[in-house]
């Protein structure tokens, strides 16, 4: 299909991720421009718009989406605001890249899914950026080609140097482990059916009220077992690692074996300080893929079903976490034909 002209994008939310996406569209990727930016903070959104050619600031998402030069929407606002923005985009037939979460809970995610299903076509790509990371793409290709046989287990490690004081136990699941939920479903092409959360001794690095680290176990409908070490106060940097254990071999990613230096009796390399640096290339690839597909009149990547499934697994995870090691089953509606 012939590609359309330069895509005018409205970026909703100009916090850390939104501002980074404005920079990305403006300076890194091709085929799109930032036509509008939206934020409830009028001063902040004006300052960002002033730094972009022919970009209009708005405080109302609906007004931005009604602008003649806006052909697509990137939602990077807080999760509770996503549902209203998505439904407005549906009314206008605008393609959307929505940062995770699709919405903060399974009920609202299902409402969005049903609204898109009623349209009879997909408009939404959900921002699970790990699917665009070079190492995860290699692991996905290896597992898909079948040379290692079935995947029996998947081990994951997800470590942050630190988190803000407001971070809660629920945030561990909803903001952090949600990424492992999505990559598990994507890598294995299986749904998660149950979640168990176990807690070792609490780290002295954890802020008051946060039980960190934790150990999360997923069961899948294909019989795989998946574990996640979530450790958000490790103190030494940001690490995301995964190892697939298959019938005929194993495969591991995330070791970050770039340059290693030997000097003064020591050897080693560097560890990324946070997720923005670690997954910068993945974000670039994700947004470029969205722009390219949109210009072709297509929608690809993680769907509303993926956003809904992640929300449902998160709810089971938070309940399992609160109930001290109890196995909690995940409840999903039947997958609609639109997302098969």
User: Rounded to an integer, what distance in angstroms lies between the CA atom of residue 155 and that of residue 144?
Assistant: 18
As separate numbers, helices (DSSP H) first and strands (DSSP E) second, the chain gives 11, 15
Q: Count Cβ atoms within 10 A of the Cβ of residue 145 and give its class: 0-12 exposed, 13-18 middle, 19 or more buried.
A: exposed
Residue 31, Ramachandran bin (φ over 0: left; ψ between -120 and 50: alpha; else beta): left
310, 178 contact by CB (below 8 A): yes
d(CA 173, CA 183): 14
Higher pLDDT, 256 or 196: 196
- Say whether pLDDT at 263 is over 70: no
What is the per-residue pLDDT for 74? 98
| Chain length of the chain | 340
Query: Which uninterrupted H or E stretch holds 227?
Result: strand 225-231
Alpha-carbon dihedral sign for residues 303, 309, 312, 316: negative
pLDDT tens for 282-338 read: 999 999 999 999 999 999 999 999 999 999 999 999 999 999 889 999 999 999 999
pLDDT tens digits, residue range 49-81? 999 999 999 999 999 999 999 999 999 999 999
CA distance 92 to 86: 10
User: What stretches of 106-182 adopt beta strand conformation (E)?
Assistant: 124-127, 151-159
pLDDT above 60 (res 225): yes
Tell me the per-residue pLDDT of 8-21, one tens digit each, with 9 for 90 and over.
999 999 999 999 99
Asked whether residue 27 carries a pLDDT value surpassing 80, the answer given is yes
Is CATH 3.40.50.720 the right assignment for the domain spanning 141-275+310-339? no
H or E stretch covering 138:
helix 134-145
Residue 1: pLDDT over 50: no
What angle do the packed helices 280-295 and 134-145 form, to 10 degrees? 70
H or E stretch including 181? helix 178-188
What CATH homologous superfamily does 7-130+281-303 map to? NAD(P)-binding Rossmann-like Domain (3.40.50.720)
pLDDT digits (tens, 9 = 90+) for 115-130: 999 999 999 999 999 9
**Residue 166 confidence (pLDDT) above 80:** yes
Q: What is the pLDDT of residue 209?
A: 92
Of residues 37, 49, 72, 70, the one with CA closest to residue 292: 72
Cα separation, 99 vs 187, whole angstroms: 20
DSSP string, 115-126: HHHHHTS--EEE
For the cut 90, the answer to whether the pLDDT of residue 84 exceeds it is: yes
Quote the pLDDT of residue 261.
65
* pTM given for the model: 0.94
Q: For residues 239-258, give the mean pLDDT.
A: 89
Is residue 270 pLDDT above 80, yes or no? no
Delimiting residues of CATH 3.30.360.10 domain(s) in the chain: 141-275+310-339
Q: What pLDDT is stored for residue 2 in this prediction?
A: 41
Q: Tell me whether the omega of the peptide bond preceding residue 213 falls within 30 degrees of 0, making it cis.
A: yes
Intervals of CATH 3.40.50.720 along the chain: 7-130+281-303
The mean per-residue pLDDT over the stretch 240-257 comes to: 90
pLDDT for the residue 279 = 87
> What's the mean per-residue pLDDT of the chain?
94
């Amino acid at each position: 299909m012939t590609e359309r002209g330069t895509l005018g994008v409205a970026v909703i939310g100009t916090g850390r991720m939104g501002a980074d996406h404005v920079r990305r569209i403006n300076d890194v990727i091709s085929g799109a421009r930032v036509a509008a930016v939206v934020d409830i903070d009028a001063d902040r959104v004006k300052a960002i718009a002033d730094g972009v050619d022919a970009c209009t600031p708005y405080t109302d998402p609906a007004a931005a989406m009604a602008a003649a030069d806006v052909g697509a929407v990137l939602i990077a606002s807080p999760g509770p605001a996503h549902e209203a923005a998505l439904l407005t985009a549906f009314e206008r037939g605008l393609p959307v890249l929505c940062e995770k979460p699709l919405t903060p809970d399974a009920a609202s995610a299902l409402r969005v899914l049903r609204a898109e299903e009623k349209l009879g076509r997909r408009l939404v790509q959900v921002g699970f950026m790990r699917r665009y990371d070079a190492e995860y793409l290699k692991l996905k290709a290896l597992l898909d080609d079948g040379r290692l046989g079935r995947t029996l287990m998947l081990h994951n490690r997800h470590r942050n140097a630190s988190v803000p004081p407001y971070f809660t136990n629920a945030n561990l699941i909803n903001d952090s482990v949600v990424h492992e939920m999505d990559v598990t479903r994507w890598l294995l092409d299986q749904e998660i059916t149950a979640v168990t959360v176990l807690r070792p001794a609490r780290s002295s690095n954890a802020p008051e009220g946060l039980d960190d680290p934790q150990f999360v176990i997923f069961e899948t409908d294909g019989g795989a077992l998946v574990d996640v070490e979530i450790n958000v106060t490790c103190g030494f940097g940001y690490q995301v690692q995964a190892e697939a254990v298959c019938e005929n071999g194993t495969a591991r990613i995330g070791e970050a074996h770039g340059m290693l230096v030997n000097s003064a009796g020591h050897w080693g390399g560097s560890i990324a300080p946070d997720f923005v640096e670690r997954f910068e290339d993945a974000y670039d690839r994700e947004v470029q893929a969205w722009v390219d597909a949109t210009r072709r009149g297509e929608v690809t990547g993680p769907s509303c079903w993926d956003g809904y499934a992640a929300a449902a697994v998160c709810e089971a995870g938070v309940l399992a976490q609160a109930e001290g090691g109890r196995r909690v089953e995940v409840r999903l509606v039947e997958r609609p034909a639109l997302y098969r």
